[in-house]
Structure 1
Amino acid sequence: MKLSLGFSPCPNDTFIFDALIHHKIDTEGLEFEVFFDDVETLNQKALRAELDITKLSFHAFAHVCEQYALLDSGSALGFGVGPLLICHNEDLLQKKKNLDSTYKVGIPGRYTTANFLLGIAFPHLTDKQEMVFSEIETALLEDRIDLGLIIHENRFTYTDKGLHKILDLGSYWEQETGCAIPLGGIVINRNLDRQTKEKVNRLIKKSVEFAFENPKSGLEFIKQHAQEMSEEVMYKHIELYVNKYSIELGTEGRKAIDVLFKMAQEKGLISPIKQNIYLIP
């Protein structure tokens, strides 16, 4: 049986899925057609229910949970892993409390969890320009935007380019909730049979465990998709985004997701969710 699978080319995802798609573990008769896309493209594909299994932002998941269930393995949650709001013009560092719609901010996508957190922390920043996450730093340097919301490996590169941090939105979230920040999860189409869905969940867990046990096994595959990132930065990225929650969400991981959805509902960002969002009760 062949299933379509979407995930990003970022090191955390290629690290997680290397063993699965390259048959370093027993895939129990399943084959996967892989689609590599940036997170917002994956979010849009999920909104159209194009893929059987996909990585997506938790913010986006809130809009598609009728079509998809959240797997217990493969998620990206953690502390110190949130998006950063940055700028090029140092004068803006002094105006943190007065940022409003007069400033244009580049965001990595409407349905990203990063954009949701930005809306909580800076509700008056309404002039937003969507762009591929890897283009935001360049747009700042060329003064096409005033502020940039960065995710993924750009956390490690922005200072080298002369850019400045205004606020770590992950730290903001942690102070507000005490929870790990839920960034992205792996979901599966509810229309697949129960046996297949449980098998996929089991295989992704095995793939993550294999990666932890053999951290260099997927090095060439990770490098291939890492946008000329150094090996040191690649593994810093993996260390931040792949952890115990990636093996299984557990009670703490589920609490963080539930709090995120509760806050989003209270602020009118998403509709009330009526069904169980988790594949594994």
Structure 2
Amino acid sequence: MALSLAVSPCPNDTFVFHALAHGLVPGAPPVDLTFADVDVTNTAALDGAFDLVKVSYAALPWLLDDYELLPCGGALGRGCGPLVLTRDRTDLNGATVAVPGDRTTAYLLFRLWAADQRPARIEVVPFHQIMPGVADGRFDAGLVIHEARFTYPRYGLNALVDLGEWWERDTGLPIPLGAILAKRGTVDPAAATEWIRESLRHGWRDTAASQKFILANAQEMEPAVVRQHIELYVNEFTLDLGKDGLAAADALLGRAAAAGLTPAVPSFL
């Protein structure tokens, strides 16, 4: 029976899961792969739609009854945080802000950072519409992630804040962006952890093997941007969250619960 897996088409996910999705991991079951934006998987996971699924850390408080956090495969790191972009604003009071999803880690970080500001309206829009929308004045500001940190100057935009820098300065911890979850009672988490780690190791051993798959799903990203994306988001935390990765998840969700933004969850440590 095939294992249902849902990840984003972003280069870090396609790099990590290429071998698993293509039957190149010894002992792993066949995989039924679905590509979806993380805001979609955050919602689909509420219904237990997938055996393994990539979601935002911010969505975990609503998912941990049915899913278990795996210690690998996700996106954490330093210097890789979401950005708040504007044309020329120096604050967000009275602003209309475009965001890529209301249960994303990016939006949760934004809410923690912007606690003393008063945006007039938040609009959830598809990610690819955010930078053009800020550039042409439809939005006063936009919250962006992933490859946008490499491309936003092309739109004539400025970074009002790098939420990753803000987070790291305040906590000393990496920023927890995307998590891999295994469905309880359906997937053996220890086995799934080894499948994903071997898939990642396969990618590191033979970087050329996955290039066609990565580029085909990279939403017209230039090869140089794809390379930067993978180098930034596929790192030691992808192989093993470790103590710092788990502490980062605790800090994010602990602060969110204390601020009344999410339900409380038990510590991961």
Instruction: Tell me the TM-score normalised to structure 1 length.
Output: 0.91
**TM alignment of 1:208-219, pairs within 5 A:** 208-219=200-211
Distance between the aligned counterparts of 2:19 and 2:154, measured in 1? 33
Corresponding residue for 2:38?
39
In structure 1, the partner of 2:257 is 265
- 2:157 aligned partner, one-letter code: L
Sequence identity of aligned pairs in percent?
37
Counterpart contact for 1:80–1:170, Cα < 8 Å: yes
Aligned residue pairs total 267
Is the alpha carbon distance of 1:149 and 1:50 closer, same or farther for their aligned partners in structure 2, counting shifts above 3 Å?
same
Kept after mapping to 2: 8 A contact 1:119/1:125: no
- State whether residues 39 and 56 of structure 1, in contact with CA within 8 Å, keep that contact through their aligned partners in structure 2: yes
Which amino acid in the other structure matches residue 10 of structure 1? C
Contact 2:20 2:28 in 1 (8 A): no
Question: Which runs of structure 1 show a deviation greater than 6 angstroms over 4 or more consecutive aligned residues?
Answer: none
Q: Which residue of 2 aligns with 1:63?
A: 62
Shift of 1:29: 4.8
State the shift of 1:126 in Å.
5.6
1:219/1:29 Cα in 2 relative to 1: closer, same or farther (>3 Å)? closer
Give 3-state SS (helix, strand or coil) of 2:147's partner: helix
Query: What SS does the aligned partner of 1:158 have?
Result: helix
Residue identity opposite 1:163 in structure 2: L
Distance across 2 between alignment mates of 1:29 and 1:209:
14
Change beyond 3 A, Cα 1:134–1:268? same
**Contact conserved, 2:174 with 2:245, CA < 8 A, in 1?**
yes
Matched-pair contact (CA < 8 Å) for 2:73–2:179: yes
Shift of 1:25: 2.3
> Which residue of the partner structure matches residue 81 of structure 1?
80
How far does the alpha carbon of each residue in 1:170-193 deviate from its partner, in whole angstroms, 9 at most, with x for none?
Answer: 000011100000001100111215
- Residue type at the aligned position of 1:188: A
In the superposition, the TM-score normalised over structure 2's length comes to: 0.95
Aligned residue type for 1:129: E
In the alignment, structure 1 residue 168 sits paired with structure 2 residue 162 = yes
Q: CA offsets, 1:44-93, max 9 Å, x none?
A: 111222111100000011221111101111011100000000012x2x1x
Residues 120-199 of structure 1: matches in 2 within 5 Å?
120-123=112-115, 124-125=118-119, 127-192=121-186, 196-199=188-191
Give the root-mean-square deviation of aligned CA atoms: 1.4
- Residue identity in the other structure for 2:51: D
Gaps of 5+ in 2: none
Look up the equivalent residue of 2:17 and give its one-letter code: F
Deviations 1:218-241 (A, max 9, x none): 000000011211111101001111
Alignment partner for residue 196 of structure 2, among 192, 204, 214? 204
Q: How far apart, in 2, do the equivalents of 1:186 and 1:18 lie?
A: 15
Give, as a single letter, the amino acid of the residue that structure 2 aligns with 1:271: P
Deviation of the 1:116 alpha carbon: 0.5
- Matching residue of 1:23: 23
